[in-house]
A and B are shown apart, each in its own frame.
Chain A
Amino acid sequence: MKDVYLDNNATTMVDPSVVEAMLPYFTEQFGNPSSMHSFGNKVGFALKNARKQIQALLGAEHDSEIIFTSCGTESDSTAILSALKAQPERNEIITTVVEHPAVLSLCEHLEKDGYKVHYLKVNKKGQLDLEEYKSFLSDRVAVVSVMWANNETGTLFPVLEMAELANAAGVMFHSDAVQAVGKIPMNLKTSKIDMLSISGHKLHAPKGIGVLYLRRGVRFRPLLRGGHQERGRRAGTENAASIVALGKAAEMALENMQLENTRVKAMRDRLEQGILDSVSHCFTTSDVDNRLPNTCNIAFEFVEGEAILMLLNKEGIAASSGSACTSGSLEPSHVMRAMDIPYTAAHGSTRFSFSRYNTMEEVERVIAAVPPIIEKLRKLSPYWNENGPVEEPEKAFAPTYA
C-alpha cells in the first residue's frame, strides 16, 4: 500500500508536469539569460513568462514586482532588512509571537543590534488583538511583518486590514505568505501590502526557489548586490530551471484554486471530524472558522507527539508535530505556547496538512489508524488510567522537573 503524505505544510511533491517544464532548462536550454546570444535569449523569455504566471497568481499589478530569490527565508530577510536600511531613522519592527523562525529569529537577532521589536500576542484561538497592533504603529516603526497563514495551525491573520492600517500610519507592511499562496485567492494590486514572501516548494515547485513581491514604488535596498539580475534588486545568476518550475506551479495553483476550497477542504474536515469522534480527550488548536482549507492541528492530551509520529510512520502515514522532541532544538512549539495550550496537550499536538494530491481513501485509512495509536501511548502514560485520564491529572502526577 502506498504511504499517505499529510505533511504538505512542510513541503510538497513537485508536480510531474512541473518537472517536465523545468527539465529542458538543465540541458538544451542551459544559457545564461544575460548573454547576448540565442542560448541566453530563450531562457530570458522563459523567465519572463514565469514572472507573468506568478504575477497572475498573486494578482500583482506589474510583473516587475516579482523578484526571484532562493527561498522564503531569503525573501523574509530581504524584506525586513531592506525596510530598516531604507529608513535608518526608524528603528522599530512590529511582528507576532507566532511567526515562522525565518522572521522570528531575524527579529531576535536585530534586537541585539539595538532595534526595538514589538511582538503581537495571540489569544487561545490564535487570534491577534488589533487594538494592541494599532497602539504600536508610529513613525518610529520601519516595517510590520505578519504572516498570512500560520504554518502549524493554518490560522489566518487579517493581513489585508492590517496592511491598510499600516499604510494609513505611513508604515511599510510585509507578509510571509508561504503557507497561504496557492491555497487562498489573492489580489495584491487592490491591497496595501508592500512586500510578500513566497516559497516554491510549498506549492508543488522544487526547493530552493522563492519570490519576494515588491510593490512598485516601495523604497528598497537589496540584500545581495552584484550583477544586474532582477533589475539590480537581487544579484546572482538566475536559477532558471526552478524559476520556470515555479511559474508552471503557480499557473497550476491558480487553475486548481477552487479545488483547495472544495475537495481539499472536504478531506481535511472529514479527517478532523473522524478523529475527534473516535478519540477522547483531543481538540483542534486552530481558529476553526478562519484557517487554511488544508490544515488540521489536533492536540492529543497526555501523549507525546514524536511517539505519535513514529507509530504513524510505522503505518505509512506522514504527519508533523509541535512537540519539543521533534524540533531538533528541543524547544516546544512557540505557537502552542503562545496560544496557552496546556503542556500535556501541546506536547501531543499533531498537524495533518493536505494537498490536492491526497484522496478520501487515504483519509479513511488515517481515521482508522489514529485511535489505536493514541490508545497504545496512553497506556504508557502516567497521566492515564485504564479508560481515561487519572483524576486531577496535574496533581496525581506531579514529577520533579530537572
Chain B
Amino acid sequence: MWDYSETVQDHFYNPRNAGAVEEANATGDVGSLSCGDALRLTLKVNAETDVIEEAGFQTFGCGSAIASSSALTEMIKGMTVDEALTVSNQEIADYLDGLPPEKMHCSVMGREALQAAVANYRGEVWSDDHEEGALICKCFAIDAVLIEETIRANKLTTVEEVAHYTKAGGGCASCHEGIEEILTMVMEEAGETFDPEAVAAPDVDTTPETLVAGTSGMAIMKRIKRIETIIESIRPQLQADRGDIELVEVMGDTIYVNMTGACSGCQMAAQTLGGVQQRLIEDLGEFVKVVPATELPVSKTSSAMAGA
C-alpha cells in the first residue's frame, strides 16, 4: 500500500470543494496519460478583480489524485488568477505533506487543470507542454521521457552522466538497467553503441586545482558562505524530526555533509540528501551533488587504517 501522509488521507476521506462550482466562468479538463486519471476544475473568478472566489473539482482517479485536487482548490481560493498560476506542483505536494514519488504526477495534473481553467477564463487555448513517460527512477521520480530527451539534447553516453544531468539513478541505483536500456536506444538512433565500460566525460570543475585556477578566491568564499546559509535554513526541518546536518567540505560541484541525530542511519537519508541537493541546486542556480562526508576522498594512511 502507498505510504500516504495523514494530510493526503484527510483530503481523500474528507475532500474539500468537491463538485462543480455553480455559475463557474472557468473550466479546465485534463488527464494524466501515465495513469489514466482525469480531473475537471471549475472556478468562479471575479471579472473585476481577477480573484478566484470559488473553486470546485471533479476527479476520476486514485486517492492522491483526489487529495491533490482537494488541496489545489483550497490553495487557490482567494488568490488572483496570476497568483494562482505561480502555484507549482511541488507546492501542492508540500501542502499535502508530500506524495510518494510514483504519485507526483497527480500534483502535476492539478497544476495543469489550473492552467487549463485560467486559459479557458481568458479565452485562450491551453496546450500541454510536456510529455510524461514510465517512471524509471523512484528515488527522485524521474520518468523515461525526461531521461530520453536529456540524453538526446546533451549527447550523454553513460549512466553516470544521466545521473549528473537528471538525478535519475543517483539514489539506490536499482534503475540502472532501465537507464542503460534508454541509453542503448537513443544512442542507436544516432548510430552509436552504448558501452557500459565507458567512463563519463571528465567534469572540468570537479578537481580543486582547476576550480581555484578558474575562479577567484573571493568568489569561492562567497559560494561556500551561500551554501552554508542554505544548509542552515534547512536544519530546523531536520531538527524537527530529531535529525541534523552539517557542511563538511565543498569540492567543485560536490558538497560533502554529515547527517547526524535521527538522520544518521535513517532509511530515508538518501531521500533527505536528495531533497537538500534539490534545494541547493535551486538556490545556487548550478548543478551540485550532495554526498555523505563518508565518501570524502581519504588520504593513504587513513584508508590503510580503515582496511586494517
Contacts and interface: CB of A to CB of B under 8 A. Distances in A.
Interface stretch (A125-133, A168-176, A236-244, A325-333): A325-333
B63 A401 contact: no
A380 B58 contact: yes
Contacts of B135: 329-330
A324 B127 CA distance: 25
B63 A307 contact: yes
Interface stretch (A52-60, A99-107, A218-226, A392-400): A392-400
A381 B32 contact: no
A344 B60 contact: yes
B110 interface: no
A227 interface: no
A314 to B, nearest CB: 7
A284 to B, nearest CB: 21
B12 A325 contact: no
A379 interface: yes
Contacts of A313: 1
Contacts of B65: 304, 325
A347 B268 CA distance: 32
Contact of B30 (A305, A381, A399): A399
B66 interface: yes
Given A399-B31, A401-B32, A379 B19 contact: yes
A307 B65 CA distance: 9
Given A400-B30, A400-B31, A382 B39 contact: yes
Interface residues of A, number: 33
Contacts of A344: 60
A398 B29 contact: yes
B63 A382 contact: no
A323 B60 contact: no
Interface string B94-108: 000000001100000
Interface residues of B, number: 42
A380 B15 contact: yes
A272 interface: no
Nearest to B1: A313
A380 B38 CA distance: 11
A25 interface: no
A303 B134 CA distance: 23
A306 to B, nearest CB: 4
A170 to B, nearest CB: 36
Nearest to A328: B102
B185 to A, nearest CB: 11
Given A401-B33, A402-B30, A310 B131 contact: no
A72 B12 CA distance: 36
Contacts of A381: 58-60
A397 B29 contact: yes
Contacts of B34: 324, 330
A324 B130 CA distance: 21
A214 B227 CA distance: 64
Nearest to A324: B35
B244 interface: no
A401 B62 contact: no
Nearest to B12: A310
Given A328-B102, A397-B40, A399-B38, A380 B63 contact: no
A330 B102 contact: yes
A152 to B, nearest CB: 17
A402 B31 CA distance: 6
Residue among B15, B59, B63, B109 facing the most chain A CB atoms (10 A cut-off): B63
Contacts of A68: none
B30 A380 contact: no
A304 B62 contact: yes
Contacts of A306: 2, 62-63
Nearest to B132: A402
Given A329-B135, A399-B39, A310 B59 contact: no
Interface string A293-317: 0000000001111110011011000
B131 A402 contact: yes
Contacts of B131: 402
B60 A303 contact: yes
A382 B36 contact: no
Contacts of B39: 382, 399
A79 B61 CA distance: 39
B60 A325 contact: no
Contacts of B33: 401-402
B48 interface: no
A330 B104 CA distance: 12
A330 B19 contact: no
Interface in A352-402: 379-383, 397-402
Residue among B19, B36, B64, B132 facing the most chain A CB atoms (10 A cut-off): B36
Given A310-B12, A402-B112, A402-B130, A383 B32 contact: no
A329 B36 CA distance: 13
Contact of B35 (A330, A380, A400): A330
Interface of A: 302-307, 310-311, 313-314, 323-326, 328-332, 343-344, 347, 379-383, 397-402
19 contacts: A302-B60, A305-B62, A306-B62, A307-B62, A311-B13, A325-B37, A325-B65, A329-B134, A330-B135, A332-B35, A344-B60, A379-B19, A399-B38, A400-B116, A400-B126, A400-B128, A401-B30, A402-B109, A402-B132
Given A306-B63, A400-B30, 18 more contacts: A304-B62, A307-B61, A307-B62, A314-B13, A323-B62, A330-B134, A330-B135, A332-B35, A343-B36, A344-B60, A347-B60, A379-B19, A380-B58, A382-B39, A382-B40, A399-B38, A400-B128, A402-B128
